[in-house]
Chain A
Amino acid sequence: AQSVTQPDIHITVSEGASLELRCNYSYGATPYLFWYVQSPGQGLQLLLKYFSGDTLVQGIKGFEAEFKRSQSSFNLRKPSVHWSDAAEYFCAVVPEGGRRALTFGSGTRLQVQP
């Protein structure tokens, strides 16, 4: 069965600092990979996705993620964090081709200090 691990439950960074949120997956093949963000009391908003091709993908709000097959990782990065980035971030996978339910990591809660 596929699984997703987000090892950091809670991260605190200063505004303007860089950010990297970790995501590792366990799956027999290369799945489709997603990052979603959830602000308090809100639903999930898609930040970016990787299906194939260039392993560095750009998303909304200045986020990017890099797929590393050898490490089964799909880490999310942002060069300079803004206070409005405080939220919970979820990594998710689905078997290649999609059309199946997402398997989510447990999430990483990001706090931004002024």
Chain B
Amino acid sequence: GAGVSQSPSNKVTEKGKDVELRCDPISGHTALYWYRQSLGQGLEFLIYFQGNSAPDKSGLPSDRFSAERTGGSVSTLTIQRTQQEDSAVYLCASTPGETQYFGPGTRLLVL
């Protein structure tokens, strides 16, 4: 069946611009996670959505980062006023319970 999909696959932007990253989870998966993978920091948790509950935003690095999940399905991660240190691969994962399944990621480069 279809896996987790993410778009765009690559994004190049200029410092100070806003970007939106999209994640389409596996159908029926109730929970969705965003992670960031960067050279210096490895894989870091950003935010977690579970059903209709309030998201766990404890991993967001600054208030420039936000995310929403509409209709319990698609999620968008928004980074405002991008900085060079935001350059990383942003990974989305969905899960029906305990096991997380990852998308291919969005590679973000901030010039």
Could you tell me which A residues sit within 8 Å of B by CB distance?
A: 32, 34, 36, 42-46, 49, 51, 90, 92, 94, 97-107
Contacts and interface: CB of A to CB of B under 8 A. Distances in A.
Nearest to B100: A102
A43 B95 CA distance: 15
Interface of B: 4, 6, 31, 33, 35, 42-43, 45, 48, 50, 56, 59, 91, 93, 95, 97-105
Contact of A101 (B48, B101, B102, B103): B48
A99 B101 contact: no
A34 B99 contact: yes
A99 B50 contact: yes
Contact of A99 (B31, B59, B103, B104): B31
Given A97-B98, A104-B43, A107-B42, 6 more contacts: A36-B102, A43-B6, A44-B102, A45-B102, A49-B99, A99-B98
